[in-house]
Amino acid sequence: MRKGIGWITIIMVTLLAGCDLVKSPNDLIISPDQQDEQKRKLEQQLKILLPPSSELVTPVQSDKNQSIFIEDLDGDGQQEAIVLYRNPQQKSQVHVVVLQEEDNEWREATKVEPNGQAIDYFGLHDLDKDGVMEVVVGLGESEFETKKQMMIYVWQDRSLKKTVERSYEGLDISDYNTDERLELLLVDGERRASYTAELFHYELGDLVSLSAVSLNSYAFHQRMKSGKLHDGNHALFIDSAIGVNAMLTEIIAYDGTKLIKVGAEQGDLPLKSLPLYSTDINEDDIMEVGETYLPQRWVEADSTETPYLVRYVTYSINGTSKKVTERATNLEHTFYIDIPEKWHGKVTIKSIENGIQLVSLANNELLYEVKWANKETPNSAQTILEETKDTIYYSTLEENLDFPVEAFHLEQYEF
């Protein structure tokens, strides 16, 4: 029960952390050093152009906190501005408005009001390489709905003409097959029935299927992230909950002839017992996948107090993996210890009162210690590791040069 509650809490925190949606027009004004005159003028005019109660919307899948996009959509030398907003007075329905400059003033050219209250994805891409940008919009009924609708519009005769509409759960637009052209990868299906990842070209105003691969139909998709494999191939990393106590990562890539699940020939990637999301953990532009295993001398129990050792590994398209780092992770007290490479696979965890210790498997040598206490509780701390509002993390050991104090980290990023 405790572990189930922990999973629900972590899932909700993760979802909420990914939904930076609402800003007022006044909030978007930033310093002249960061924006050119054209955009500053538009931001000022939006206060008049948009309804008074409007809220600018940032797509959930966005590396930038951006609600305004200025591009030359059709290659005629004149830039258009696309603004994403919603109006709470209209049941928070989202709006996509296109503006053009006339007589040194921005004026509305056209507006579409697709059926949705949250923008999951927004992108401007020349999908068919005809010199004209397609406008790709992904919409959901709310920030928490997994089912979404993708629309593709083309800028034509001062209006947005919709050419494609279809459902999806995950969307990535990248050059998967290295043909110097963008493909659309869509994840869609029904839980407990069938899920697929399918690769498309956009041609003559429609989607043309290139390849598809089946996914685990019992997975509850929590995060889908685009990134690179160790060998440089592009991939989509899908992190999902399986049941109550497990998590699965599926990696979708193109092997030169078709879509594949990386590692499927060796069986699915190993299940993990902690919510570990794929991330570029060492900032080398390659995605790492988290994996868990029990330290020696432990038996898995249905409790958040079960200690786990965590590996982050990279994968190549042929399914081979390479370990990047190893950690001791404490889910209940939200911290981890980076294990130096010298000690990878050579330590186990020992529980002590209000703390844990890392011990050498070879000779039981005590290598590292973390204790925790309320800040108001007297303790004989020899080394303070970290402090939070209510808790102090400390050690009573002399520092081991092979295991530095700096190996301790609070899980502020993950949790």
How is the chain split into domains, by residue range? 36-168, 333-414
What is the model's pLDDT at position 229?
A: 98
CATH of 36-168, one of 1.20.59, 2.40.128, 1.10.287, 1.20.120: 2.40.128
Name which residue leads in pLDDT, 59 or 301.
59
Report the predicted TM-score, pTM, of the whole model to 2 decimal places: 0.84
* Model pLDDT for residues 179-200, shown as the tens digit of each residue: 999 999 999 999 889 999 999 9
* Model pLDDT for residues 102-156, shown as the tens digit of each residue: 888 899 999 998 888 889 999 999 999 999 999 999 998 766 667 899 999 999 8
Can you tell me the mean pLDDT for 239-257? 93
Among the ranges given (47-51, 177-181, 257-261), the one the predictor scored with the smallest mean pLDDT: 47-51
Closest by CA position to 408, among listed 370, 364, 367, 381:
370
- Is residue 32 classed as helix, strand or coil in its secondary structure? helix
* Model pLDDT for residues 344-374, shown as the tens digit of each residue: 999 999 999 999 999 999 999 999 999 999 8
Whether residue 222 contacts residue 204, with contact meaning beta carbons closer than 8 Å, is answered with: no
Q: Which pair of tokens denotes residue 275?
A: 């919510």
What band does 296 get if pLDDT is binned at 50, 70 and 90? confident
Q: 85-93 long-range contacts, Cβ below 8 Å, gap at least 24?
A: 85/50, 85/54, 85/55, 85/56, 85/57, 86/54, 86/55, 86/57, 86/117, 87/51, 87/53, 87/54, 87/55, 88/53, 88/55, 89/51, 89/53, 91/117, 92/117, 93/117
What is the model's pLDDT at position 141?
A: 76
Query: Is pLDDT at 312 greater than 50 in this prediction?
Result: yes
Beta bridge pairs of residue 156: 159
Query: Is pLDDT at 279 greater than 70 in this prediction?
Result: yes
Residues, the chain: 415
Closest by CA position to 197, among listed 242, 239, 236:
236
Q: Which pair of tokens denotes residue 163?
A: 């050419």
Most confident of 26-30, 297-301, 342-346: 342-346
Query: Is pLDDT at 274 greater than 70 in this prediction?
Result: yes
What is the model's pLDDT at position 381?
A: 67
Query: Is pLDDT at 19 greater than 80 in this prediction?
Result: no
Closest by CA position to 147, among listed 191, 184, 112:
191
Most confident of 55-64, 86-95, 311-320: 311-320
**How many H-runs (helices) and E-runs (strands) does the chain carry?**
2, 28
- If one counts every other C-beta atom within 10 angstroms of the C-beta of residue 105, the result is 12
What is the model's pLDDT at position 15?
A: 40
Whether residue 143 contacts residue 120, with contact meaning beta carbons closer than 8 Å, is answered with: no
What is the model's pLDDT at position 376?
A: 79
- If one counts every other C-beta atom within 10 angstroms of the C-beta of residue 333, the result is 17
What is the model's pLDDT at position 144?
A: 62
Strands (E) across 229-302 are located at 234-242, 246-254, 259-261, 289-293
Whether residue 210 contacts residue 201, with contact meaning beta carbons closer than 8 Å, is answered with: yes
Q: Which pair of tokens denotes residue 108?
A: 């509305």
